[in-house]
Amino acid sequence: MKLLLTSAGISNASINNALVELLGKPIAEASALFIPTAIYGIPGYAQIVQKVICGTLGDPFCQLGWKSLGLLELTALPSIKQELWVPMLQQTDVLLVGGGDCQYLCYWMQQSGLTALLPELLQRIVTLA
């Protein structure tokens, strides 16, 4: 299992180095998916999500120079066939999880089916929260 839990993203060189070490390759060669779901459980969520994605709020973990960066919205997943989104998860290197309401995030991790997939995914994915 590979987890890098931070309270403010990639806020210094030490955390950045730990990420690269966990990845086993440069960030520029890694794919990431940003999960903003927890942010939706707090006031002002729309503006906060936009600022996190654009890198104007907190430490800009979406702006690290990823090879590719996608968005994974957990609230939408129950209405989408798993064969459309599970392969995307299986092919990504990093999950970036935005802060916010942890209970809301946990609820949607379970409802979406992500919780059931985590044991398999965490064998190869680095998760930043």
The model's pTM is 0.85
Domain 2-128 indexed as CATH 3.40.190.170: no
**29-41 confidence digits (pLDDT tens):** 999 998 999 898 8
Structural domain spans, the chain: 2-128
- Nearest residue to 84 via CA among 93, 72, 75: 72
C-alpha distances in angstroms, 7 versus 53, 68, 80, 98, 128? Answer: 17, 23, 31, 10, 9
**113-123 confidence digits (pLDDT tens):** 999 998 888 77
Q: Is 71 helix (H, G, I), strand (E, B) or coil?
A: strand
Look at residue 21 and tell me whether its pLDDT is greater than 80: yes
> Strand locations in 1-129, DSSP E?
2-4, 31-35, 68-71, 94-97, 126-128
Look at residue 128 and tell me whether its pLDDT is greater than 80: no
Would you state the structure tokens that stand for residue 23, as one six-digit string?
């990845």
